[in-house]
């Protein structure tokens, strides 16, 4: 029984040996690959000879460089539609990275040092070969420069007119008969001709039956399938057509909230333009007040007190004055600027102009008449001159201590050749009676001069011009055979799309 199990399973150390060999192989691979990912990047520009060890180049750096190459390649393939491709064998078209960015088919590329790749030394170049195109993508960043070559053509598996050749045997479209060829040669190759026989042709003999040991005869290659037939999309765009713009209209008043219209001439909805003008001008008049504050004498009250019967009394700014009975002290409120005359004990002294209004006193008062604007234009920048009628009190006033004190003291003198005589007469108070004593005081008032002046404001005007839409323009689409001359000569162009016929 032990013998049968031994013969069936074999020597038990065999599996252990296999495991040891596998562990050794894995350790060797780990030692060989690990430094490639952990060693620091080496700047090959500093190498003086070909002995530099570049095995420590950072894998991430290489991936960023390859990603940027891929972006440039894809952008170039999407850009080179049929009408942009070189037409003759050997002709080329080149775009720098700067050109590609300007055409908005790619954005600036950033390398692993966060620097922009060279805009002029990075480029794509497409060259027409006999049956396909060769695209060279060259990239230069802050550390290295390298390129890739890509074969492009119109293959059966393409989703658009031009695509990248796959790394496998592919049928290539051509006007010549095609067969399946390997990737190394993209040109259609003719079928191989049979080799001539060395035997004489004048004594044919039947072919001997193959011996059992002979190799079987090779079967002929199958006939390659025919290429599918495609039709291609064409487009034709008719431009929008407008009438000429009218002349700008005359300026007319408009609401200042009106918005200007300044649209693009190529926009089909741009049929009217409007421009605005704003300026200051007179929009009416208004009454402007010019004011000035001054001191005036005004009655502020009264009281009753025992007084001399021969005199009238008045209190002005807390000083008592005695006046004669015939010249009662009153205000000039009943005098207007149009009368300009003496009244009661007040004598008119004339009309005067003052740049600063005058101040009233006990014996001099002023009546406001108006203002002088002769030096002003549209608006006075300072106060105008003021006109006042001047009045002086001539009734005689004597300052006294009380209302029981007589007024003026009269003195007289006489002389002769023999002697001089002086007589002093004391004024008589008369009997005492109760009288009403008015009280006057100085107060401040504001005198106002009104003037009609011009009112200015912002006035808005608008002017417009218009045009008419004659033809809105359109884009038409057609499908036809590749290279339809009737369409191409009539302004139609390829879109890059195709479909099975």
pLDDT of 421 reads 52
Strands 92-96 and 123-128: antiparallel
User: Do residues 304 and 446 both lie within one domain?
Assistant: yes
Domain final residue pick, 146, 164, 182:
164
Residue 333 confidence (pLDDT): 62
Query: Could you tell me if residue 34 is inside a domain?
Result: no
Asked if 451 contacts 378 with a C-beta cutoff of 8 angstroms, the reply is no
Helix (H, G, I), strand (E, B) or coil at 336: coil
Q: Are residues 259 and 350 in the same domain?
A: no
Check residue 102 and give its pLDDT: 87
Whether residue 291 sits in one domain with residue 280 = no
Question: Which residue range forms the structural domain that includes residue 325?
Answer: 287-413+421-451
Secondary structure, 3-state, 222-247: CCCCCCCCEEEEEEEEECCEECCCCC
Is residue 198 scored above 50 in pLDDT? no
Cα 326 from Cα 311, distance rounded (Å): 9
Is the pLDDT score of 344 beyond 80?
no
Residue 179 lies in a domain: no
> How many residues are there in the chain?
501
Separation of alpha carbons 381 and 379, rounded Å: 6
In eight-state DSSP terms, residue 325 is: T
Q: Give the single-character DSSP code of 337.
A: T
Is the same domain home to 95 and 124? yes
Question: Greater confidence, 129 or 156?
Answer: 129
- Pair 442, 341 in one domain: yes
Q: 3-state DSSP call for residue 76?
A: helix
- Predicted TM-score of the model (pTM): 0.38
The DSSP code sequence of 83-149 is GGS--STT-EEEEEHHHHHHTTSS---B-TTS-BPPTTT-EEEEEE-SSSEEEEEEEE-SS-EEEEE
Q: What is the mean pLDDT of the chain?
A: 78
Q: Does the structure show a pLDDT above 50 at 425?
A: no
When comparing pLDDT for 312 and 181, which is higher?
312
Q: What is the pLDDT of residue 133?
A: 93
Q: What does the pLDDT read at residue 420? A: 52
Give pLDDT tens digits for 46-75: 444 444 444 444 666 788 999 999 999 999
Task: Please state which of the ranges 167-181, 358-372, 378-392 shows the lowest mean pLDDT.
Answer: 167-181
Dihedral sign, Cα of residue 373, residue 376, residue 379, residue 385: negative
Q: Find where tokens 């890059």 sit.
A: 496
The residues facing 456 across adjacent strands are 282
Average pLDDT over residues 227-254: 90
Domain assignment present for residue 357? The answer is yes
Q: CA–CA separation, 403 vs 432, rounded Å?
A: 10
The yes-or-no verdict on residue 1 having pLDDT over 50 is no
pLDDT at residue 230 greater than cutoff 80: yes
419: phi > 0 → left, psi -120 to 50 → alpha, else beta; which?
Answer: beta
Q: Do 299 and 387 sit in the same domain of this protein?
A: yes
In contact, 461 and 276? CB cutoff 8 Å: yes
> Of the candidates 164, 190, 212, which is a domain's last residue?
164
Question: Residue 473: its pLDDT value, please?
Answer: 80
Task: Enumerate the H helices of 80-189 as residue ranges.
Answer: 97-102
Q: Tokens 């300044």 label which residue? A: 262
Do 159 and 299 belong to one domain?
Answer: no
> Is residue 232 pLDDT above 70, yes or no?
yes
pLDDT of 369 > 80? The answer is yes
- Whether 217 is covered by a domain: the verdict is no
Residue 127: inside a domain: yes
User: With bands split at pLDDT 50, 70 and 90, how would you rate the model's confidence at 386?
Assistant: confident
pLDDT beyond 50 at 204: no
The mean pLDDT of 109-126, rounded to a whole number, is 92
Q: 117: Cβ–Cβ under 8 A, 6 or more apart, which residues?
A: 68, 97, 108, 109, 110, 111, 139, 140, 141, 142
If asked whether residues 299 and 382 sit together in one domain, one would say yes
How many domains is the chain partitioned into structurally? 3
Q: Are residues 79 and 106 in the same domain?
A: yes
Q: Judge if 261 and 371 occupy the same domain.
A: no
Find, among 290, 336, 294, the residue nearest to 446 by Cα: 294
What is residue 54's predicted lDDT score, i.e. its pLDDT?
47
Query: Does residue 275 sit in the same domain as residue 301?
Result: no
Q: Say if residue 418's pLDDT is above 50.
A: no
* Largest pairwise CA distance in the chain: 211
Task: Give the least confident one: 11-15, 22-26, 145-149, 292-296.
Answer: 11-15
Q: Is residue 65, in this structure, part of any structural domain at all?
A: yes
- ∠ CA 318-319-322, nearest 5°, is 135
Residue 158 placed within a domain: yes
CA–CA separation, 17 vs 118, rounded Å? 56
**431 plus 332 within the same structural domain:** yes
Average pLDDT rounded to a whole number, residues 204-230: 53
Q: Report residue 288's pLDDT band, with 50, 70 and 90 as the boundaries.
A: confident
In a domain, 68, yes or no: yes
What pLDDT was estimated at residue 93? 94
């Amino acid at each position: 029984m032990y013998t049968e199990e031994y013969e069936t399973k074999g020597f038990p150390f065999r599996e252990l040996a296999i495991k040891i060999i596998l562990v050794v192989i894995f350790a060797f691979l780990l030692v060989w690959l690990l430094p490639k990912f952990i060693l620091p990047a080496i700047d090959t520009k500093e190498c003086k000879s070909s002995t530099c060890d570049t095995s420590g180049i950072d894998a991430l750096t290489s991936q960023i460089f390859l990603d940027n190459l891929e972006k440039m390649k894809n952008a170039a393939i999407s850009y080179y539609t049929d009408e942009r491709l070189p037409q003759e064998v050997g002709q080329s078209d080149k775009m720098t990275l700067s050109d590609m960015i300007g055409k908005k088919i790619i954005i600036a590329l950033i390398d692993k040092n966060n620097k922009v790749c060279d805009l002029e030394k990075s480029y794509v170049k497409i060259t027409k070969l006999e049956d396909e195109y060769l695209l060279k993508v060259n990239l230069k960043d802050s550390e290295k420069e390298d390129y890739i070559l890509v074969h492009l053509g119109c293959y059966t598996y393409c989703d658009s007119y031009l695509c990248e050749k796959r790394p496998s045997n592919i049928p290539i479209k051509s006007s010549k008969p095609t067969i399946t060829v390997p990737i190394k040669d993209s040109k259609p190759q003719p079928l191989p001709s049979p080799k001539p026989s060395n035997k004489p042709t004048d004594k044919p003999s039947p072919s001997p039956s193959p011996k059992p040991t002979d190799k079987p005869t090779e079967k002929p290659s199958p006939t390659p399938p025919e290429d599918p037939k495609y039709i291609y999309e064409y487009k034709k765009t008719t431009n929008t057509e407008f009438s000429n713009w009218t002349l700008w209209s005359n300026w007319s008043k408009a609401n200042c909230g009106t918005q200007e219209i300044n649209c693009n001439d190529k926009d089909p909805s741009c049929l009217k333009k409007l421009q605005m003008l704003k300026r200051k001008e007179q929009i009416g008049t208004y009454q402007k007040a010019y004011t000035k504050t001054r001191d005036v004498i005004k009655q502020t009250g009264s009281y009753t007190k025992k007084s001399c019967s021969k005199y009238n009394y008045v209190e002005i700014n807390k000083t008592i004055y005695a006046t004669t009975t015939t010249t009662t002290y009153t205000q000039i409120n009943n005098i207007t600027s149009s009368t300009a005359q003496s009244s009661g004990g007040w004598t008119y002294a004339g009309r005067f102009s003052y740049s600063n209004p005058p101040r009233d006193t006990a014996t001099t008062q002023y009546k406001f008449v108006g203002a002088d604007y002769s030096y002003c234009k549209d608006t006075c920048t300072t106060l105008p001159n003021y006109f006042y009628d001047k009045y002086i009190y001539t009734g005689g006033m004597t300052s006294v201590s009380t209302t029981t004190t007589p007024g003026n003291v009269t003195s007289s003198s006489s002389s002769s050749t023999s002697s001089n005589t002086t007589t002093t007469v004391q004024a008589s108070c008369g009997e005492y009676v109760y009288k009403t004593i008015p009280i006057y005081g100085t107060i401040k008032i504001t005198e106002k001069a009104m003037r009609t002046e011009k009112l200015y404001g912002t006035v808005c005007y608008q002017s417009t011009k218009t045009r008419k839409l004659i033809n809105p323009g359109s884009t038409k689409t057609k499908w036809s055979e590749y290279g339809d001359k009737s369409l191409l000569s009539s302004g139609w162009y390829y879109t890059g799309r195709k479909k099975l016929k």
